[in-house]
Amino acid sequence: MKLTSDELRKKWINFFKERGHTPISSASLIPENDPTVLFTTAGMHPLVPYLLGQPHPAGKRLCDTQKCVRTGDIDEVGDASHCTFFEMLGNWSLGDYFKDEMVPWSYEFLTEQLGLDPARLAVTVFEGDSDCPRDEQTAALWEKCGIKKENIFYLGKKHNWWGPAGQTGPCGSDTEMFYDTGKPKCCAECSPACDCGKYVEIWNDVFMQFNKNADGSFSPLKQKNVDTGMGLERALMNVQGLKSVYDTDVFVPIVKKIEQLSGKSVTDENSVRAIRVVADHIRTSTFIIGDERGVTPSNVDQGYILRRLLRRAIRFGAGLGLKSGDYSAIAGVVVDIYAEAYPELAAAREKIMHEIDEEQARFERTLENGMKEFDKLCKYLQTDIIAGKSAFRLYDTYGFPLEMTVELAKERGFKVDVDGFNARFEEHRNLSHAGAEQRFKGGLADTGELTARLHTATHLMHKALKDVLNDPTVNQRGSNITPERLRFDFSFGRAMTAEEVKAVEDKVNAAIKADVPVTCEEMTVDEAKAQGAVGLFASKYGEKVKVYTMGEYSKEICGGPHANRTGELGHFKIVKEQSSSAGVRRIKAVLE
């Protein structure tokens, strides 16, 4: 079946609309008031409150196409199936249907809508443990649909359990669907758990019925949910019988542009990986910068990931012969491909290209400084070996990949302690992972009283900032809330004065003192706009949203936890106002 990305999106939405699901818009790549992740990594992230039982304005059955970014497998990018940005086709049941409905629908969509050969489908189900029993029900449903018994595999938690997104939250067993590529089995026990490439994952149905508690125990959720996810790029690859996601229509024009600019070709085995890395990283960077809450390159949080993606693309591109201006030209092709599906990219075209050009210029200056550091290092070496810690400093501070340091050292008659570098790199990665784990302590999954109060305070502060700074460009660009404090990023081109900080505090505290009720109404996006509500208006026409009103002090679209009255908040205090990235300021505040 020859199926384009646009046709696949439409097939997905129409299939589930016919089964009573309401299509909802893709959420921002930058999670709102959620410190659990830097980026939206799955369609369920914006829906955590509703998976925990909060009513969704669009009902109990939902479907969408969600923008996602994951960088955990960045070293695998360049193979046939890994990407750092991808579109996740998703559908949800919020306490409505469960396994009996979802498994047959999955089979029907794969075989009838996508035309996949049932004989080449393989599925995995949960083998069971002390927390949750063996999922014989799902296996029986698959067999009833027509999946051969020998193609049904029982696997443990490592492979067939999803969540929670952090240390606590909704989770459950899942069933995953794979397509047999036709490659021979790597061993007698070969299964979808193998990394041999015989099986490629297409779809994942998660049956959320537990909440993981802080002590590691599991308790039943108030409602059973279904949460599914199909990667659009991998599905296209399988449906079209292609060898890689980079052969699909979302990548082909990008790859062709790189080939045109570089004079290299993906048919050259020495160039194919670099071309794919540049294509992937520039596509991801385009989406991050062009997002409704888009960030710019910096040394912290999302901006840091963006910077590393761009600089990694530039490093690989340099080996292809790409020059200044080429990367923004590639980004322009990305915008053209996705302009209809994600119009926010077209609106931000100039910003995207400008930021990429600026980061390339910054990186070139950094590399120039790095060369000076490398020269100095070689000048004072007492042996013929560059220490691992020195090679890692060149990597971490100046963006020198290990291969570049090794090549430069070889030219001058030196060697590099590669094992020492790898040890430092692993130590750095472990620290990064530990830091990431600290993010899983609050956010939308945390509906505790302290978090709800701070969340409510962000609304009051947002409105106060708009009033005090009297600048129409002042808008929320990100928020991170824990039970201890709030962190709020907003667009503004200069540091606030002490008087302005005090004025914002005073306005928020006046709203708290007024002790007005925090009310919630469900309305369409157009109705919210007409009432002057603040928020992202990326939702589809007619889609319902929740609008929280606090007297005359705030009216904002939101899905997070809130206090019942402003008087519950206590005293609001800004503890720091600083730069976050170019054109973005950051406030840290507490409730005393």
| pLDDT reported for residue 440 | 36
Q: Kindly state the percentage of the chain with pLDDT values over 70.
A: 94
pLDDT at 431 over 80: no
| 121-126 and 152-155 strand pairing | parallel
Query: In this structure, are residues 334 and 345 in contact, taking their beta carbons and an 8 Å threshold?
Result: yes
Per-residue pLDDT at 438: 43
Q: Are 159 and 175 a contacting pair, CB within 8 Å?
A: no
Name the DSSP letter for residue 123: E
Query: Which of 233, 209, 280 is closest to 53 using CA atoms?
Result: 209
Is the model's pLDDT at 443 over the cut of 50?
A: no
* DSSP-derived secondary structure letter, 112: I
Between residues 35 and 568, the one the model is more confident about: 568
371-418 residue pLDDT tens: 888 899 998 888 899 999 999 988 877 777 787 788 789 888 999 999
pLDDT, position 444? 45
Say which amino acid occupies 436: A
Q: Which of 258-272, 526-540, 543-557 has the highest mean pLDDT?
A: 258-272
With 60 as the cut, is the pLDDT of residue 1 above it? no
Q: Model-level pTM?
A: 0.79
**SS3 (DSSP) at 267:** coil
Is the pLDDT reported for residue 160 higher than 90? yes
Q: Where are the alpha helices (DSSP H) in 263-401?
A: 272-290, 301-320, 326-338, 343-347, 349-379, 388-398
pLDDT at 192 over 60: yes
Backbone angles phi, psi at 484, to 5 degrees: -95, -30
Predicted confidence (pLDDT) per residue in 279-304, tens digit: 999 999 999 999 988 888 887 778 88
Q: Would you list the DSSP string of 126-159?
A: E---SSS---HHHHHHHHHHT--GGGEEEE-HHH
Average pLDDT over residues 201-212: 92
Q: What share of the chain is helix, strand, coil (3-state, %, to 5)?
A: 45, 20, 35
Q: pLDDT tier at 103 (50, 70, 90 boundaries)? A: very high
CA distances for 35 relative to 31, 435, 451, angstroms = 8, 12, 11
* Residue 429 binned pLDDT confidence (cut-offs 50, 70, 90): low
The pLDDT assigned to 506 comes to 95
Token pair for 417: 């302690």
pLDDT for residue 432: 52
Structure token pair of residue 331? 């980004």
Q: What is the mean pLDDT of residues 238-257?
A: 93
pLDDT in tens, 306-326: 988 998 899 899 889 999 899
Query: Given this model, what pLDDT does residue 536 score?
Result: 67
Q: What 3-state DSSP class applies to 511?
A: helix
Before 561, cis peptide (omega within 30)? no
Q: Which position has the token pair 């067999």?
A: 143
Residue 539 pLDDT exceeds 70: no
What mean pLDDT comes out for the span 249-275? Answer: 95
Higher-pLDDT residue of 437, 363: 363
Name the least confident of 66-70, 102-106, 166-170: 166-170
